[in-house]
């Protein structure tokens, strides 16, 4: 699919169709009811405009070709209420009954940019939220009796809404009692426990006071777009920037990870290679209390929302930023230190493809196997468009790693670890596949017109032709499934793990500013900020990832719902009935298209049964496998529990029993690896941790190499591998 063409088409059509007037030609929004006792959050004209345009985009270009009607309105209302109060801690049955008047009105209101109903619902939620935080603070000082045999129901999702505030008070009283009991069992004093709970709820109150209309609008749009399909998503301007940075695996700033602690911005980590690292003036734990741009005045950022503080610290490379710092270990009353840094482009290497080499023994023979972990399919499209020859991308990173594994490490085989890889760029999935196959189709894409386009790897040659395997799990999705599916269809390698997520839909990322007439943006800026378009932030509308097509493997099967089924299966660490596309009510169905014209590299059907047989033989003797299945059975059993005892003696006995069992099992596994036993509270070093799925996957690849010609990387004939 030519996404550039799609984007230009949208820009031309939507610019004409979707930009009538900001205020005129639309029904006036309903007056929003005010909620007493809380600072009511109200939508603005920018959000009204975005809401209207999203309705039009969905109705015109979403793959489902769906009409936003009363049925959608009903789903949105239910989703929104559940998103706000999933455990039913805040709303009462009376609130829910009142919200029923909006059930079949949201579709018409959204079409007109009227957000008064969901914002009113949020303000009711905010009022209840703050009321119960205050109630919890009062209850935290209660002298609870922990010898009673009462219980706390912590999972209330399937329970009815409480009939009254009195009943909800009782639930909150038990919630606070449970929190205090947890702290008491941990061995801290009553005074310390009260202090901890007080700080916890005071902090939650402080954070709730920072919620703005962008936060609420994001929640409203999430409920709306996910009612259409799980992967049509709107991103407000702040989230859009984070999405772009995650896709690019880079950003421009000082090179530090930041976190908020007690209203103070703290440096959590210094990123190697960045300005903060090279300057050697900042350390993890330092607190930032002020920021100045270049030679400008300092702004006090204490108490700010973290994204607002971060936006002041980030900035274009080459620009200067000054920070007012309280060094780690010093009191907040200490004299601040002022440092100056020049911003640079920071590459997030720890979130990029990485390699390691392991040597394993199979049948008395050592094998050197390179493992490439790919956390996502990323690409810095902005840098690539600007002509940067060193732009960041998954394929470029993996190609360099393969070269190192071949020339320096001299590995016998390579395994690609795609566990937990939720996808990303389709183009990167195609290019990455091209490193392992010579030429040919990689994926098929069916568009809105039901036209099927085949995307090929057009580059001759491969980066790695030797034995190859891919590890997947339930969280491997989208681009990961395209890559793993192509490797499987071509017979290029062995797929190991569990059935993947099953996300077989294609999203196009549309910048909302690209489809709105600039004159409208200028008028909007004047409305929002009282300017004539001089403030760029005032006119940022965010972006939408719109589902516009479906993926199909070269064998014709959609990855939707079914995903990729591995050749060598492991028990799933994640509940298959709760995680996956087939658990999403609004997901598109599975279907097929015609098979592509492709030539498999090998027919692994001749060797896979042998690999499965050897795998099962090892599993029958494996302590890891036995314990993994027992752990999964225990997790499944605990997953059915919805309540917990508030009796100290009973709860402590249960906790002690679980901890003792876990420690015993840990030491059995350590003993099987020749490691010394550990005691309760001992820390396990990274070098001593083990990954059973990885260990066994490497054994499978060692088996595979017995059936593979080391010179060509091709599977030997069946006659030769039985000798």
Provide the pLDDT for residue 242: 85
Tell me the pLDDT of the chain averaged across its residues: 89
**Candidates 489, 567, 624, 703; catalytic one:** 489
- CATH value of 250-347 in 3.60.20.10, 3.65.10.10, 1.25.40.10, 2.30.42.10: 2.30.42.10
Q: Do residues 229 and 587 make contact, with C-beta atoms less than 8 angstroms apart?
A: yes
Which residues, in sequence order, are bridge partners of residue 445? 453, 551
Element (H, E) at 266: strand 264-270
C-alpha closest to that of 104 among 138, 143, 83, 78: 78
| High-pLDDT (> 90) share of the chain, % | 68
Distance, CA of 683 to CA of 310 (rounded, Å):
33
Q: How many residues does the chain have?
A: 723
Residue-wise pLDDT tens digits, 360-407: 998 889 999 999 999 999 998 888 888 888 889 999 999 999 999 999
Examine the pLDDT at 12 and tell me if it is beyond 70. no
Angle between helices 213-228 and 70-84 (to 10 degrees): 130
Q: N- to C-terminal Cα distance for the chain? A: 47
Query: Which whole-number Å values give the CA distances from 252 to 233, 391, 412, 416, 539, in the listed order?
Result: 25, 14, 39, 30, 22
How much is the pLDDT for 350?
A: 74
pLDDT digits (tens, 9 = 90+) for 142-160: 999 999 999 999 999 999 9
Comparing CA positions, the residue from 641, 137, 132, 173 lying closest to residue 181 is: 173
User: By C-alpha distance, which of 670, 579, 677, 571 is closest to 630?
Assistant: 571
Secondary structure of 513-570 as H, E, C letters: HHHCCHHHHHHHHHHHHCCCCCCHHHHCCCEEEEEEEEEECCCCEECCCCCCCCCEEC
Number of H helices, E strands in the chain: 22, 21
| CB proximity list for 187: less than 8 A, separation 6 or greater | none
- pLDDT digits over 573-597, tens only? 899 999 999 999 999 999 999 999 9
478 as an active site residue: the answer is yes
pLDDT tier at 14 (50, 70, 90 boundaries)?
Answer: very low
pLDDT at 20: 35
Residue 167: strand pairing partners: none
CATH number, domain 349-444+454-509+551-722, options 3.40.190.10, 3.40.50.620, 3.90.226.10, 3.30.1490.20 = 3.90.226.10
pLDDT at 645 over 90: yes
pLDDT band for 11, please (50, 70, 90 cuts): very low
Among 177, 503, 523, 562, the active-site one is 503
pLDDT band for 683, please (50, 70, 90 cuts).
confident
Checking if the pLDDT of 720 tops 70, the result is no
Q: Which is nearest to 501 in space by CA: 576, 440, 556, 598?
A: 576
Active site residue 503: yes
49-80: pLDDT as tens digits: 999 999 999 999 999 989 999 999 999 999 99
Residue 147's H or E segment, with its range, is none
pLDDT above 90 for 716: no
| pLDDT value for 190 | 92
Tell which residue, 455, 451, 461, 449, has the closest CA to residue 482. 455
Taking Cα atoms as reference points, which of 374, 419, 418, 421 lies closest to residue 396? 374
Beta bridge partners of 357: 370
Comparing 216-220, 262-266, 475-479, the range with the smallest average pLDDT is: 262-266
pLDDT at residue number 26:
52
- In the prediction, which pLDDT does 715 show? 67
Q: Are 471 and 494 in contact (CB under 8 A)?
A: no
Q: Max Cα separation, the chain?
A: 83
Crossing angle of helices 213-228 and 45-61, in 10° steps, is 10
Q: What is the pLDDT of residues 285-298, one digit of tens each?
A: 999 999 999 999 99
User: What are the angstrom distances between the C-alpha of 289 and each of 298, 302, 304, 334?
Assistant: 9, 6, 10, 12
Gap between the Cα atoms of 487 and 468, Å rounded: 9
Q: Are 648 and 181 in contact (CB under 8 A)?
A: yes
Considering 352, 478, 558, 697, which one is annotated as catalytic?
Answer: 478
Q: Which helix (H) or strand (E) holds 450?
A: none
């Amino acid at each position: 699919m030519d996404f550039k063409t799609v984007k230009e088409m949208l820009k031309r059509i939507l610019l004409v169709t979707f930009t009538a007037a900001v205020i005129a030609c639309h029904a006036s929004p309903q007056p929003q009811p005010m909620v007493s006792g809380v600072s009511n959050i109200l939508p603005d004209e920018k959000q009204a405009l975005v809401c209207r345009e999203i309705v039009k985009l969905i109705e015109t270009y979403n793959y489902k070709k769906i009409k936003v009607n009363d049925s959608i309105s009903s789903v949105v209302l239910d989703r929104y209420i559940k998103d706000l109060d999933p455990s039913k801690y805040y709303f009462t049955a009376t609130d829910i009954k009142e919200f029923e008047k909006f059930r079949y009105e949201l579709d018409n209101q959204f079409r007109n940019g009227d957000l008064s109903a969901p914002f009113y619902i949020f303000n009711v939620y905010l009022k209840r939220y703050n009321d119960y935080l205050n109630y919890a603070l009062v209850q935290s000082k209660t002298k609870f009796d922990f010898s009673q045999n009462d219980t706390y129901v912590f999972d209330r999702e399937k329970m009815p809404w409480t009939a009254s505030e009195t009943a909800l008070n009782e639930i909150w009283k038990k919630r606070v009692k449970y929190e205090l009991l947890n702290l008491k069992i941990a061995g801290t004093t009553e005074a310390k426990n009260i202090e901890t709970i007080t700080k916890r709820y005071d902090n939650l109150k402080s954070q709730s006071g920072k919620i703005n209309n962008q936060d609420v609008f994001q929640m409203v749009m999430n409920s709306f777009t996910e009612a259409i399909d799980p992967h049509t998503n709107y991103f407000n301007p702040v989230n859009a920037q984070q999405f772009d940075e995650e896709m690019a695996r880079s950003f421009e700033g000082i090179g530090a990870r930041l976190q908020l602690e007690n209203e103070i911005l703290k440096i959590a980590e210094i990123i190697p290679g960045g300005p903060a690292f090279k300057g050697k003036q900042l350390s993890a734990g330092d607190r930032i209390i002020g920021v100045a741009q270049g030679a400008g005045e300092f702004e006090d950022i204490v108490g700010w929302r973290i994204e607002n503080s971060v936006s002041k610290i980030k900035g274009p490379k080459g620009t200067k930023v000054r920070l007012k710092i309280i060094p780690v270990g010093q009191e907040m009353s200490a004299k601040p230190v002022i440092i100056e840094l020049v911003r640079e482009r920071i590459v997030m290497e720890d979130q990029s493809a990485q390699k390691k080499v392991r040597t394993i023994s199979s049948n008395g023979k050592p094998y050197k196997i390179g493992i490439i972990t790919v956390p996502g399919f990323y690409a810095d499209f902005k840098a690539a468009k600007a002509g940067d020859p060193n732009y960041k991308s998954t394929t470029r990173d993996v190609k360099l790693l393969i070269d190192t594994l071949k020339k320096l490490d001299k590995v016998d085989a390579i395994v690609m670890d795609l566990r937990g890889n939720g996808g990303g760029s389709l183009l990167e999935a195609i290019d990455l596949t091209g490193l392992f196959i010579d030429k040919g189709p990689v994926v098929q894409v069916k568009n809105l017109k039901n036209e099927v386009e085949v995307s090929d790897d057009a580059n001759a040659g491969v980066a790695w032709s030797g034995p190859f395997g891919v590890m997947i799990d339930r969280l491997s999705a989208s681009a990961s499934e395209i890559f793993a599916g192509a490797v499987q269809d071509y017979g290029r390698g062995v797929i190991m793990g569990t059935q993947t997520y099953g996300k077989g839909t294609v999203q196009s990322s549309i910048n909302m500013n690209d489809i709105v007439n600039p004159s409208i943006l200028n008028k909007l800026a004047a409305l929002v900020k009282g300017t004539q378009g001089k403030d760029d932030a005032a006119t940022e509308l965010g972006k939408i990832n719109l589902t516009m097509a479906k993926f199909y493997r070269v064998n014709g099967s959609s990855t939707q719902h079914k995903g990729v089924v591995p050749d060598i299966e492991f028990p799933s660490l994640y509940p298959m009935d709760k995680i996956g596309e087939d658990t999403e009510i609004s997901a598109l169905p599975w279907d097929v298209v015609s098979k592509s014209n492709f030539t498999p590299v090998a027919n692994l059907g001749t060797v896979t049964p042998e690999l499965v047989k050897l795998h099962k033989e090892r599993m029958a003797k494996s302590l890891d496998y036995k314990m993994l299945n027992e752990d999964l059975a225990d997790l499944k059993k605990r997953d059915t529990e919805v309540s917990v005892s508030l009796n100290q003696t009973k709860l402590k006995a249960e906790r002690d029993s679980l901890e003792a069992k876990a420690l015993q099992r840990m030491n059995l596994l350590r003993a099987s690896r020749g490691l010394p036993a550990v005691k309760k509270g001992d820390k396990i070093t990274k070098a001593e941790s083990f990954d059973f799925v990885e260990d066994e996957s490497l054994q499978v690849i060692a088996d595979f190499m017995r059936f593979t010609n080391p010179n060509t990387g091709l599977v030997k004939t069946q006659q030769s591998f039985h000798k």
